[in-house]
Each structure stands twice: as structure tokens, then as C-alpha cells.
Amino acid sequence: MYSRFVTNPLNGLDDGSFFKKGFYYIVKLASIGVAIWGFYLIFASMFGDAGYFKSLKGMEIWPLIRSLLFFLSNIVISAMAVMWLTSVLWKRSEEFKEVDYNGVPLIIPRFIKLFGQLVAVVFVTVSVTYASAHIFVANPGVYMPLEDIYKAIMNNPINEIPRVQGFIESLPKLSMNIGEVNGFGHYMNDFFFDGAIWNIVKGLILAFINLAVFYFIAEIFEIVIYFLIRKQLFK
């Protein structure tokens, strides 16, 4: 009894296995939580007073068809986004069991990088969602089921740092303004230069820039920790 409740837990604290298992389960549960929450939102956002189907009431036939096509495409995009976010978290949770434990402070950079990876996924998937809305000339705001998850990820501790927040806000924004299309030429111009293709390009650029920023912060943090503990960083 003494060994089980005192000796083993204390040994786990000393050798780091307690923290490795703890962070493993935290990230693993986050992965499962995102999967459940995400697929729930995909279906729950269809119904109710604020649901997608309610927004169709009174629509003319052509806008209705375009809206339905966007809706169907966004179900696929949102499902893929949930699986992508879940897979990132699941993979990173497994790594906590595999890597050597070098102290709690050196776990922090791993979480900073993880936040960066999740933010990059958000930028890419949102850009594809907006591109789909431009393709079908539909309002993306009528069906954005994962908006709460995206906001939760974007409101991470790193993005709350004033200088980081200011830098991110200074970057170009994805375009979700869908106007009326006046002819095929206007549609193609919107497709390539103002909407679909350009949104995806901006999404990829923003994902890359944010990854670079998060990795830079994580590695600076790591360098400072290694310096303070006088441990060789590069072999």
C-alpha cells in the first residue's frame, strides 16, 4: 500500500514518468474532445433557430441552390478539419511517451509548437471554406459549424502576447465578402484574384508565417532554458 500510493508516485515525479503520462493523457483527451465536439457542431449547427436550415426560409431558387452546394461542400471541409486537428493532437500525445524527459520547462516549447500547428490548420481550413463560398457565391457565415473550435484555438496563450497579437493582426486577412456576380468575367476575376484561389494562397502563406512565429518563440524559449541550466543545445 505504501509503495503504491507513496513510493511509486514519488519515483514517477523524480524520473519524469508522472509528467510524461500526465501530458500524454491531457493531449490525448484533447484529441478525443475535439473529435466529439467537432462532429457534434457539424450536425448541431444544421438545426434550431440559429441553424443552417432555418436560414433557407424565403430564399429564391438560384441562391438556394448555391447555398446548398456550399453547405454540402462545407460539411466535407469541416469533417476533414476535425479529423486533421484530431490527428495532430493524437500524434503529439503519442510523442510524450517516446521522447526523453528533460524537465517540465522543456515541455513548454512542445506546447508552443503544438499551438502553432493547430493555428496553421485553422488558417488552411478557413481559407478553403471561404474559397468554397466564393466558388458557389454563397455567404459563408450561414454555416460555419467549427467557428467555436477555431476561436478556441486562435485564443491560445501565445496569440494573447501583445507583440504577437499585434503582428498577427497586421497580416493580410482572408476575404469572406461575397458580392453579387455581374457576368462570367467578373466571376472569374473574383475566383482567381479576390476570392477562391487567392484565399487559399493567403491561407497557406498565413499558416506558414504563423508556424514560423510559433516555432521561433518555442526555440528561443528552449535556448534560454538550456542556457540557464548550462546544458549543451547543439551537438
Residue 123 CB neighbours (<10 A): 23
CA–CA separation, 142 and 34 (whole Å): 22
7 part of a folded domain: no
How many domains would you assign to the chain? Answer: 1
Three-class SS of 40-67: HHHHHCCCCCCCHHHHCCCCCHHHHHHH
In a domain, 235, yes or no: no
90 located within any domain: yes
Q: Tell whether 37 is covered by a domain.
A: yes
Judge whether 99 lies within some domain. Answer: yes
The alpha helices in the chain, defined as continuous H runs, are 2, 8-15, 17-44, 52-55, 61-98, 108-136, 147-154, 162-170, 184-189, 196-228
Q: Residue 114: which domain range?
A: 16-228
Task: Establish if 178 belongs to a structural domain.
Answer: yes
Q: Is residue 2 part of a domain?
A: no
Per residue of the chain (235 residues), give pLDDT as tens.
656 655 666 666 656 677 778 888 999 999 999 999 999 999 988 887 778 888 888 778 887 888 899 899 999 999 999 999 999 999 998 887 777 666 677 788 888 999 999 999 999 998 898 888 888 877 777 888 888 888 888 888 777 777 776 766 666 566 555 556 555 555 566 655 566 777 788 888 889 998 999 999 998 888 888 777 765 555 5
pTM over 0.85: no
Position 88 in a domain? yes
